[in-house]
Amino acid sequence: MAKPKRAERREKDRATAKLAKDLERLWKLGPGGAPERPIVITSPSEVETQARSTRCPICQGELKVEEHVAETRGSARLRVARVVCVICRAPRSIYFQLRATTLN
């Protein structure tokens, strides 16, 4: 006996939502996913280049940079790219840290 279509679809939607959540969580554990794990860059211009070459962890869509801001967390000066996926519209932030050239 096949399950009613609607229940089947609901089950699938739930599974998809859970998968998206897992992928997002995993992505946040990677480089740039959190303020504690910034991607090290040498020039602020790399922020947009890197952000644009990053893909949406959920749908592999391109990310559009909506905003590029400077943030200070404790003693760390961070650059944050606020991006949104062009396909699934999921917003996220990618964190960068500018390597101080004087410290090398």
Which C-beta is closer to Zn ion: that of 56 or that of 81? 56
Which C-beta is closer to Zn ion: that of 81 or that of 85? 85
**Which SS3 state, helix, strand or coil, does residue 100 take?**
coil
* Greatest extent of the chain over all pairs of C-alpha atoms, in Å: 71
* CB of 11 vs Zn ion, minimal distance in Å: 22
Q: Which conformational region is residue 88 in: left (phi greater than 0), alpha (psi within -120 to 50 degrees), or beta?
A: alpha
Which C-beta is closer to Zn ion: that of 40 or that of 87? 87
Contact positions vs Zn ion (CB under 5 A): 56, 58-59, 61, 85, 87-88
